[in-house]
Amino acid sequence: MAELQVVIADTKEGKSYQTKVEKTHLARLVGLKIGDEIDGIFVGLPGYKLVITGGSDTDGVPMKKGIPGPGRKKILGKRGIGFKSNPNNVKKKKMVRGNSISQDIIQLNMKVIEYGPRNIPELLESEKGDN
């Protein structure tokens, strides 16, 4: 599995933060699905709870919540993830990825649902300083 980039949305502050997942934690994320809650320790945020909201693979194909499994599928859609509709609401076949995290995912999107004792910039800066 390639390096996993994680984008963490802090809804309280209205900001997002990027970090990379350590190789020791990658195996624990494989198999999880969109909507699953994880402990923040996996992304360097001890004491936090996060929920997986999406992601994309090496080719930029987005994950979609309603598609089971980790594979790619073509869906017929007129709006939503992976497709911007024109004013005539034309339907089109688009490639999307299933809702499970696999070896091909390189970016994960997460949202903070439970905050820890320290703020996010402090934790991420101290993590960069340790390397």
pLDDT tens digit sequence for 7-26: 999 988 899 999 998 777 88
Count other Cβ atoms within 10 Å, centred on residue 95. Answer: 15
Helix (H, G, I), strand (E, B) or coil at 86: coil
Reported confidence tier of residue 114, pLDDT bands at 50, 70, 90: very high
In the prediction, which pLDDT does 127 show? 64
Helix ranges, 8-68 (H):
23-29
**Segment 33-46, tens digit of pLDDT:** 999 999 999 888 99
Cα four-point dihedral sign 49, 30, 104, 24: positive
**CA gap 22, 36 in Å, rounded:** 19
Q: Where are the domains of the chain?
A: 5-64+100-130
Reported confidence tier of residue 1, pLDDT bands at 50, 70, 90: low
- How many residues appear in the chain? 131
Residue type, 106: I
Residue pair 16/120 in contact by the 8 Å Cβ criterion = no
Composition of the chain by helix, strand, coil, percent to 5:
15, 40, 45
